[in-house]
Amino acid sequence: MKMILRWFPGGNDSVTLEQIRQIPGVSGVAACLIDIPVGDVWPLERLEAMKKEINDAGLEVEVIESVNIHEDIKKGLPTRDQYIENYIKTLENLSKIGIKCLCYNFMPVLDWARSELALPLEDGSYAMAYRHEKVLEMNPNNMADVMQSQSLGYALPGWEPERLSVMQKDIEFYQSMSTETYWENMKYFLDAVIPYAEKFDIKMAIHPDDPPWPLYGLPKVISTAENIRKFLSLNDSPYNGLTLCTGSLGANLNNDIPAICREFSSQGRVHFAHIRNIKHISEKDFNETAHLSECGDLDLFEITKAFHDTDFNGYIRPDHGRMIWGEKARPGYGLYDRALGANYILGLWEAITKMKEGK
C-alpha cells in the first residue's frame, strides 16, 4: 500500500510539494493537468515537466486524478471515436512517465455536487456539505456560479469553465437517454480503452458518483455494490477497476462500506482508495467531517482492516479534509486536515499489521 495526497500542479494549489514531503509516510501525489481541455491529448512534454517537478521534491507520481471523459463518449455520439483515440494517446503518454493508475469518473455533465463549500462546524472548522433540497433548488447553471464564487478563486475539479458552458443543453440530452443506453456507452468506452490500459500497464480506476443518486434527471450508476458488480462485469480485465471512495459511496446509508471495500479489494479490482468520513444529518443530507471514526458515520478501522485483510497493494489517499487552523485553500484540499487523515489511516494500518504479527 502506498499513501499519497492529491496535488494540483502549475500554481493551482496553495499546498506545496515541500509541505507534502514532510507528512510522515506519504510517498507521492496524485496529480493532473487541470488546464487541458476535456477531450484533448495530454502533451508528453507537459507530463515530463510535471513529473520532474514532483520527483525533484522527493515525491513519486504514479497516479493521475483525473483525465476527464468527453461528454460525447458518455452520450454515445459518433464523434466519440475521436475522443477515445485521444484518450488512448493520453494513456500512452502517461505510461511514458511511469503512471501506474488512472482515476476518472463517468458522471454526466457534473462532477461531484455540494450545496456548501465552507459550512462552519461546531469546533470552528469549515467543511463541505450537501443538503439535498438546496441542491435540487439550485439551477445547475447558477450552481456553477455558486461553486465558482465559493471556491476561493480556484476552479474546482470537474467544474472547469468549458465543462459548464454547455451544461443546460447536456442535461436535456441525458434526461431523454435511458440508463441502459448509458451503461452501453460506458461499455463501449471500456472495451476500446482497457486493452490499451493493459498494454501500457495503467490500472483504470473509476470514481463512484457523488452523490450516489440521480440529480436533475441525470443518470448516476457507480453508486451501489450491485451496480459496481455490473460495472466490473462489463469488462473483466483486472485493469478495469475502481477508485473506492468511502465518502462518496457512504452518502447512501444502505451501502455497507467495509463490506464493499472487502468484496472488491479481495477480487483485486480496487486500485486506488479515497478514504474519508461523513456525518448524516438526514437520509440525503450530510456534512464532510474529520477522518476519525467518532467524527462521522463511517468506521475507518473496519474500512482500513477490510483493505489490510485483502492484501490491498494499491494507492490510498485521504480524501477531502476540513479547513482547520485558519487555512485557506482549495475546498476539500487543504494541507492540515488531510495530513491528519493520512497519519490516522497509517496509524490504523500499523496497528493492524502488528496485531496480526502478534506483537
Q: Which is nearer to ligand DNO, 51 or 320 (CB)?
A: 320
Selected binder of ligand DNO within 132, 163, 203, 207 (CB under 6 A): 207
Q: Which of 341, 283, 273, 297 has the alpha carbon at shortest distance from 125? A: 341
Q: Which is nearer to ligand DNO, 146 or 352 (CB)?
A: 146
Least CB distance to ligand DNO at residue 102 (A): 10
**By the rule CB under 6 A, 70 interacts with ligand DNO:** no
Residues carrying an active site annotation: 207, 245, 274, 319-320, 333
**By the rule CB under 6 A, 157 interacts with ligand DNO:** yes
**By the rule CB under 6 A, 13 interacts with ligand DNO:** no
Q: Between residue 263 and residue 292, which ones bind Mn ion under the rule CB under 5 A?
A: 274
DSSP assignment of 175-195? HTS-HHHHHHHHHHHHHHHHH
User: Between vectors from CA 121 to CA 119 and to CA 124, what angle results, nearest 5°?
Assistant: 110
Selected binder of ligand DNO within 90, 105, 224, 287 (CB under 6 A): 105
Strands 126-130 and 270-275: unpaired
Residues with Cβ within 8 Å of 16's Cβ and at least 6 positions away in sequence, in order, are: none
Selection from Mn ion, ligand DNO, none that 157 binds (CB < 5 to 8 A by kind) is ligand DNO
Selected binder of ligand DNO within 104, 130, 174, 307 (CB under 6 A): 104
160, three cell numbers:
472547469
Selection from ligand DNO, Mn ion, none that 62 binds (CB < 5 to 8 A by kind) is none
**Interacting stretch for ligand DNO, rule CB under 6 A, among 50-58, 72-80, 103-111, 337-345?**
103-111
Least CB distance to ligand DNO at residue 4 (A): 13
The CA distance from 341 to 298, in Å, is 14
Selection from Mn ion, ligand DNO, none that 125 binds (CB < 5 to 8 A by kind) is none
**By the rule CB under 6 A, 245 interacts with ligand DNO:** yes
**Interacting stretch for ligand DNO, rule CB under 6 A, among 71-79, 105-113, 188-196, 303-311?**
105-113
Selection from ligand DNO, Mn ion, none that 231 binds (CB < 5 to 8 A by kind) is none
Other beta carbons within 10 Å of 144: 19
**By the rule CB under 6 A, 288 interacts with ligand DNO:** no
**By the rule CB under 6 A, 66 interacts with ligand DNO:** yes
Selected binder of Mn ion within 215, 245, 251, 339 (CB under 5 A): 245
Selected binder of ligand DNO within 111, 116, 288, 337 (CB under 6 A): 111
DSSP assignment of 107-159? -SS-----SEEEEEPTTS-EEEEE-HHHHHHS-HHHHHHHHHHHTTTPPPTT-
Q: Which is nearer to ligand DNO, 159 or 349 (CB)?
A: 159
The CA distance from 8 to 157, in Å, is 10
Least CB distance to ligand DNO at residue 351 (A): 26
Contact 271, 203 (CB under 8 A): yes
The strand order across the sheet containing 285-289 reads: 116-120, 126-130, 285-289, 277-282
User: Which backbone phi and psi does 271 adopt, to 5 degrees?
Assistant: -105, -20
Cis peptide before 66 (omega within 30 of 0): yes
Other beta carbons within 10 Å of 41: 16
Least CB distance to ligand DNO at residue 107 (A): 7
Does an H or E element contain 301, and which?
A: helix 300-309
**By the rule CB under 5 A, 316 interacts with Mn ion:** no
Selection from Mn ion, ligand DNO, none that 104 binds (CB < 5 to 8 A by kind) is ligand DNO
The CA distance from 15 to 59, in Å, is 14
Residues forming contacts to Mn ion in the complex (CB under 5 A) are: 245, 274, 319
